[in-house]
């Protein structure tokens, strides 16, 4: 059991980790996560099995995801409360980044016209 | 068609995994497809139609039977064929679709983790090497040749360590 700590130490998430956590909003096994990531990222992010296997071990060790079901073929994971907290903080920061970026784009367009 | 078995001898060092992957792919493009079993330096191929198959190597040491099954299942689910293992190196293969060479590690961060696993395993060998090297010169003169072999192995080990650590630094800069 990982000890509770501030979500800040896990941020920023890599693009792959961000989508993996989003995909685990509902319990999923490895390959289902790979398919979901490709789909929700609109094909911009693909996660290979080596990357996903490593991410599952690392995120479980950090306590951001929890094993929900396990049989001899596959493990199913879901977000832990700590994982939800980290994801929520990442989404908040991405929102700030997106808003300042949009303001910059608008100023640039104005200056050009 | 009569399928011929072809045996090739080729040495790749621990830091040349990507070179080995490229070589195996070029063999398949010539119609020589890697088969099991795999031994260091010895590669066994089966002759067939030339195909564009991509080979990828992972490094995994010490995994329980159940965990190994789930690890391999994930690769199988995503279309990778497991050809076998050789000293911790896992050999996977997948056909190239739509011109894109598929990867098992899709970002530099996870590639770093693979090489860190390899370094960690090599680190275990360090006390063993230190012990052997510390005894160099203390053996009777008849064993001089053994000292030389031990010293060369130690240099190779150090060189491999530095090459892989350098690869990790390169990947971290991406």
CB contact under 8 A, B69 and A73: yes
The answer for residues whose C-beta is within 8 angstroms of residue B106's C-beta and 6 or more apart is A16, A45, A46, A47, A48, A51
Highest-pLDDT range among A32-41, B86-95, B99-108 = A32-41
Q: What is the ipTM score, two decimals?
A: 0.88
The most confident of the ranges A18-27, B37-46, B121-130 is A18-27
pLDDT(A2) > 50: no
Compute the mean pLDDT over every residue in chain B, rounded to the nearest whole number: 91
CA distance to A4, A65, A86, per residue, from A78 (Å): 17, 6, 14
Residue B154 contacts A where some CB pair is shorter than 8 Å: no
Q: CA B97 to CA A69: how far, in whole Å?
A: 33
Query: Is a pLDDT exceeding 80 seen at residue A3?
Result: no
CB contact under 8 A, B114 and A72: no
Is the pLDDT assigned to residue A1 strictly greater than 50?
no
Distance from CA of A109 to the nearest CA of B (A): 31
Residue B75 forms contact with A (CB below 8 Å):
yes
Residue B153: CB atoms within 10 A of its CB come to: 13
pLDDT, position B2: 65
Tell me the CB-side half-sphere exposure of residue A71, using CA atoms within 13 A: 4
CA distance B2 to chain A (A): 35
* B:20-59 residues touching chain A, CB 8 A cutoff: 56, 58
Please tell me the predicted confidence (pLDDT) of residue B165: 95
Predicted pLDDT of residue B63: 81
Query: Would you state the pLDDT for residue B90?
Result: 95
Strand order in the sheet with B42-47: B5-9, B42-47, B32-34
Q: In this predicted model, what pLDDT tens digit does every residue of B2-60 receive, in sequence order?
A: 678 999 988 898 899 999 999 999 999 999 999 976 777 889 999 999 999 999 999 99
Looking at the predicted structure, is the pLDDT value of residue A45 above 60?
yes
Across the range A31-45, mean pLDDT stands at 97
Max Cα-Cα span within chain B: 63
Backbone angles phi, psi at A73, to 5 degrees: -105, -40
pLDDT band (50, 70, 90) for residue B1? low
- What tokens appear for B121 in the block? 């395993």
Q: Among B73, B80, B106, whose Cβ lies nearest the Cβ of A51?
A: B106
- The whole-angstrom distance between A28's CA and the closest CA on chain B is 13
For residue A91, pLDDT over 60 is answered with yes
Confidence at residue B133, expressed as pLDDT on a 0 to 100 scale: 87
Q: Average pLDDT, whole number, for chain A?
A: 93
pLDDT of residue B98: 80
Kindly determine whether residue A72 and residue B70, on different chains, have CB atoms separated by under 8 Å: yes
Show contacts of B85-90: CB within 8 Å, 24+ apart: B85/B38, B85/B60, B86/B38, B86/B39, B86/B40, B87/B40, B88/B59, B88/B60, B88/B61, B88/B118, B88/B121, B89/B17, B89/B57, B89/B58, B89/B59, B90/B57, B90/B58, B90/B59, B90/B60
Global pTM reads 0.89
Instruction: Enter the tokens of residue B72.
Output: 């391999």
């Amino acid at each position: 059991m990982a000890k509770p700590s501030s979500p800040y130490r896990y941020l920023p998430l890599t693009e792959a980790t961000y989508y993996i956590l989003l995909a685990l909003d509902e319990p999923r096994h490895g390959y289902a996560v790979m398919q979901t990531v490709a789909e929700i990222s609109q094909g911009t992010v693909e996660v290979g099995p080596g990357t996903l296997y490593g991410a599952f071990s690392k995120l479980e060790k950090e306590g951001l995801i929890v094993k929900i079901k396990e049989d001899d073929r596959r493990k199913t994971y879901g977000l832990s409360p700590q994982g939800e907290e980290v994801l929520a903080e990442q989404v908040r920061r991405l929102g700030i980044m997106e808003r300042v970026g949009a303001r910059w784009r608008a100023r640039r367009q104005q200056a050009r016209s | 068609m009569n399928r011929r078995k072809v045996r090739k001898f080729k040495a790749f060092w621990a830091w040349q995994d990507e070179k080995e992957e490229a070589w195996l792919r070029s063999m398949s493009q010539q119609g020589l497809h890697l088969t099991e079993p795999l031994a260091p330096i010895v590669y066994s191929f089966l002759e067939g139609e030339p195909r564009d198959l991509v080979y990828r190597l992972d490094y995994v040491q010490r995994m329980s039977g159940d965990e190994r099954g789930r690890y391999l299942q994930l690769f199988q689910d995503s279309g990778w064929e497991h050809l076998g293992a050789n000293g911790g190196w896992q050999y996977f293969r997948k056909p190239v679709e739509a011109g894109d060479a598929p990867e098992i590690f899709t970002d530099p961060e996870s590639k770093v983790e693979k090489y860190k696993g390899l370094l960690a395993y090599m680190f275990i060998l360090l006390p063993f090497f230190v012990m052997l090297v510390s005894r160099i010169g203390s053996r009777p003169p008849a064993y001089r040749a053994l000292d030389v072999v031990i010293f060369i192995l130690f240099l190779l080990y150090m060189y491999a360590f530095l090459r892989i650590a350098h690869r990790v630094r390169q990947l971290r800069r991406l």
